[in-house]
Amino acid sequence: MNFTSQMRYNPETGEYEKYYRLKESYRNASGRACTRILLNVGFIHGLKPEEIRDISCGLTYKYEHQGEHELWDDQMAVYNDVVRQKIEEYWQRLVEEKGGTAMLITLWRVPA
């Protein structure tokens, strides 16, 4: 998963700002590379580019390790509090908007 951004008019601030979407890349049945939008995040304020990257890495980790229990270290401990909070916020939005964790597994494993 990764974030992509597009300059859009933000009616709240009256300025053009980056509008973020969380996307994933996959190959369709014919082998063609495609992308799909998983979540329209919106305008993100107060985060550095490195933190936005860390959020996408944390979300990818959560997806790849669903249902597993951490035996030793909490892998999210490498991220600062704000990044961990955003990872949890966006993960919950993904689960709620895509119909639950089972739907996420289906969404990510079966090319559309």
Residue whose token pair is 């304020």: 45
What is the C-alpha to C-alpha distance for residues 25 and 35, in angstroms, rounded to an integer? 4
What is the C-alpha to C-alpha distance for residues 1 and 22, in angstroms, rounded to an integer? 7
Q: Which two tokens stand for residue 13?
A: 């601030």
Contact 84, 76 (CB under 8 A): yes
pLDDT tens, 58-111?
A: 998 888 887 777 766 677 888 999 999 999 999 999 888 875 544 455 555 544
Percent of the chain with pLDDT over 90: 54
Q: What are phi and psi of 16, to 5 degrees?
A: -85, 130
What's the count of helices (H) and strands (E) in the chain, helices before strands? 3, 3
Q: Which two tokens stand for residue 9?
A: 């008019």
